[in-house]
Chain A
Amino acid sequence: MKLKTAKTLVVSIPRLEPHRPPVGPAIIANCIKQAGFPVDAVDLNIKFFRYLNDNKMYYAFDQAFDGIRSLTLSEYKNIIRFLSMHYKPTVVNVDFVAISVFGPGSRLFSHILCRYTRKHFSTVKIILGGTGVSGINDDKKHFGQHMLEQQLCDFYIMGDGEKSIVKLLEGNITYPGINNDKYEQLIELDSLPWPDYSFYNLDEYDYLEDNKEVFVVASRGCVRHCTYCTIQRYWPKFKFRSGDNIANELISHYEKHGIRNFYFADSLINGSQTAFYDMCKILARYNQQHDAGFNWNAQFIFKRKHQISNEYFDIMAEAGAKRLYVGIETGSDKIRWEMDKKFTNDDITYHLENFNRTGMSVFFLMLTGYLTETLEDHQETLDMFSRWQYYVATGTIAGIDIGTTLIIQQGAPVATMINSHRIDFLPVLHNNEFKRANSKIMWTSELNPSLTILERMRRRIEVHNQAIKYNWPILSGEDQLLYIKQILLEYQKVNKKLT
């Protein structure tokens, strides 16, 4: 095979949101194109969404993709039927199929797709990439390694894929991150190609509002080191694009496709205060001059109130900031500080007031049942629902994701506290035998003995009840309660077996 003429098909798969075209594959496809290789891209996620033509049926797959239940035989057959109709015809004169494994929820589908590709296109080389490739299983092996060992892929790429994919196509298969976890984080982001959404049919997506919306990636990593978060496992350093580079990308999508709605896929949009402010200034000016009507949503971090002025909020609003997703996690200043979030309830009120004034809204992301949480801390979380209800009534607080309680994940700083906090994990039952270390949500700490698994779930439910009492809009409330119930049933089963 002459690599320089090798054609690649970049494939996006479920589980992804169907509301916007996939950004990572749109960047990767453009990198390949810019390097002079023939390339095409297909979004099997949106095709699957349209193929099923039934939202309930589409979302019912989530539980199987998330490993909560097994795929039924009829669901499996349906996927195979779908692949023969919508994937098979796209693999024409293709030498490489590059599959984007977005996260753990994409692994099942990627497994099926790889098997299907092997069966029907035996000469096609399969490349896996995306954060789902690097998740560590119980046996300390990455998903990519598993797939390689099972000969279900030929290459897996870990870490940022922009350079690696091109090196791979050029024949350099020993480049850092290809079939190993020694990848190097990309430092200079301004020189990377922007996502090219021309590969996708933008009319196919299930946009949340009337206008088309696309993702933008402005940075990688995070400036904070929140103790429960695993982001640093993927991106140890916080790297960001310059403000004018980001703003110019938005303007380019607007001028090319008429897109004015954007969703920043970053862990946080304001990690670099300077780049963020520069971006806002350029977008605000463009908005004013061209009446572009930009609207964008992003994850955001609250700062100490003395660090930001009122003008900061004004320029954000003028630039088109609409909804910001913020991990406030808890109502307790003490716990939030121990999580390394570095802002207080007073700072939250300051932000809410300014968001209210400038017409922006915020979405709270929560994490209850932290390692050191006491009943007093829990009470402070309950208190926040009445304290900030006014901002729900004004529409400034647009929603809350209460989360599922603390999960001790490998790669998160909290995992390094297992010894110091004398954390023990409840064994789980697998084929009627106990298996340890898989129950990352079912932990206890000897330093906080009153926070038993049962007590943690009780508090989680109490928080949910409080949110309902004060009429807060709850994201995925039913799904999360089902998950809590499932955890409790598992706990009950193990407990019975132990006693």
Chain B
Amino acid sequence: MVELKISTIGYYCNDWPVLKITSNNVTIFQEPIVNKQKIIINLDPSPNELNEITIGMVGKCFGKKGVWDTKIHKSEIVEDKFIKIRSVFLDDVSVKDLLPMNPYTVILTDEQTVKNTPAKIVSDGIIGFNGYFCIPYKLPLYNYLINAKFKTNNGSVKSCFSNHENFFNYTPQLRLIKEINNLINEIKNSEDISSKHT
């Protein structure tokens, strides 16, 4: 079980926005967000596969039967239906900082076209279009999240004292560990042989 905890704010225009959450392509939440709302859901992830959560909005009107869920007066938005994601936690670890890494996928609706609407939007939690954020994860969860949140590209030699770049560069360390373990065994064996001789 992995606990998904989301804190949201819904902004009204004609109606309250509807938040949709899926887990591995199954809808697990689809309800209007009225003002501030906290959602807690227990997920049942696959132990070996890559799991996927999507968090997004459905039902916002962009001209369907003349209904627009964004009201504009003198070129300024005066009312808009949107959702603000204030926080997202997986087993108490914030993953909100991962949202901008996977841009928001826009699902074109009604009179939206590829010409006037971007297909992907880098956002840190504002949902203004129908579509979704995608948060992939694997088990063990913390191992996956540590990589996703903190692991940076290796190769840069910033400093031997404070080399943040190489903190997670395990490959050469694992190679050395193997060499050292072999060396320890070699020494042990030679000690055993010499103790038998004496």
Contact = CB atoms under 8 A, between A and B. Distances in A.
A18 B194 CA distance: 49
A454 B191 CA distance: 11
A138 B167 CA distance: 36
B157 A394 contact: no
12 contacts: A56-B157, A208-B164, A389-B146, A393-B142, A395-B149, A395-B150, A454-B184, A457-B184, A461-B177, A478-B173, A489-B183, A499-B190
A19 B190 CA distance: 46
Given A206-B159, A393-B149, A468-B170, A481 B142 contact: no
Contacts of B93: 390, 393-394
B39 interface: no
Interface in B155-189: 157-164, 166-170, 172-174, 176-177, 179-181, 183-184, 186-188
A14 B163 CA distance: 18
Interface string A48-82: 00000001100100100000000000000000000
Interface string A429-473: 000000000000000000000000010011001001100101101
A495 B158 contact: no
Contact of B187 (A390, A454, A481): A454
Contacts of A496: 190
B191 A458 contact: no
A464 B159 contact: no
Contacts of B188: 454
Interface string A478-499: 1101101100110110011001
B80 to A, nearest CB: 31
A176 interface: no
B173 A390 contact: no
A468 B157 contact: no
A484 B150 CA distance: 27
Measured as residues with beta carbon below 8 angstroms from the partner, the interface class of chain B is: 35 or more
Contacts of A474: 167-168, 170, 173
Contact of B142 (A390, A477, A488): A390
Contacts of A481: 173, 176-177, 180
A479 B160 contact: yes
B163 to A, nearest CB: 7
B48 interface: no
Interface residues of A, number: 43
B172 A478 contact: yes
Contact of A458 (B146, B169, B184): B184
B150 A473 contact: yes
A390 B145 CA distance: 10
Interface in B91-111: 91-94
B143 interface: yes
A59 B184 CA distance: 28
B147 interface: yes
B166 to A, nearest CB: 7
Given A471-B168, A481-B180, A492-B187, A390 B92 contact: yes
A166 interface: no
A495 B149 contact: no
B149 A468 contact: no
A476 interface: yes
Interface in B36-84: none
B167 A485 contact: no
Contact of B157 (A19, A55, A392, A475): A55
Nearest to B197: A499
Contacts of B166: 477-478
Nearest to B167: A473
Nearest to B187: A492
Given A470-B143, A481-B173, A492-B186, 10 more contacts: A19-B162, A59-B157, A399-B164, A468-B173, A470-B142, A473-B146, A477-B169, A477-B170, A477-B173, A492-B187
Interface string A230-268: 000000000000000000000000000000000000000
Nearest to A63: B160
Contact of B159 (A208, A477, A495, A499): A208
Minimum-distance CB pairs A-B, first 10: A473-B167, A481-B176, A393-B142, A471-B146, A55-B157, A499-B194, A393-B93, A477-B173, A471-B143, A59-B160
B182 to A, nearest CB: 10
A492 B163 CA distance: 31
Contact of A478 (B176, B181, B191): B176
A1 to B, nearest CB: 40
Nearest to B172: A478
A17 interface: yes
B142 A475 contact: no
Given A457-B184, A485-B176, A393 B146 contact: yes
A476 B168 CA distance: 10
A468 B171 CA distance: 10
A56, A470, A477 pick with most chain B CB within 10 angstroms: A477
A395 B162 CA distance: 16
B142 A17 contact: no
B149 A488 contact: no
A468 B187 contact: no
B149 A475 contact: no
A395 B188 CA distance: 40
Interface string A76-105: 000000000000000000000000000000
Nearest to A62: B160
A468 B167 CA distance: 10
Contacts of A484: 180
Contacts of B176: 478, 481-482, 485
A241 B168 CA distance: 38
B159 A17 contact: yes
Nearest to A465: B177
A479 B166 CA distance: 11
B157 A17 contact: no
A19 B142 contact: no
B142 A392 contact: yes
Contacts of B145: 393
A465 B181 CA distance: 11
Nearest to B195: A499
A59 B167 contact: no
B84 to A, nearest CB: 21
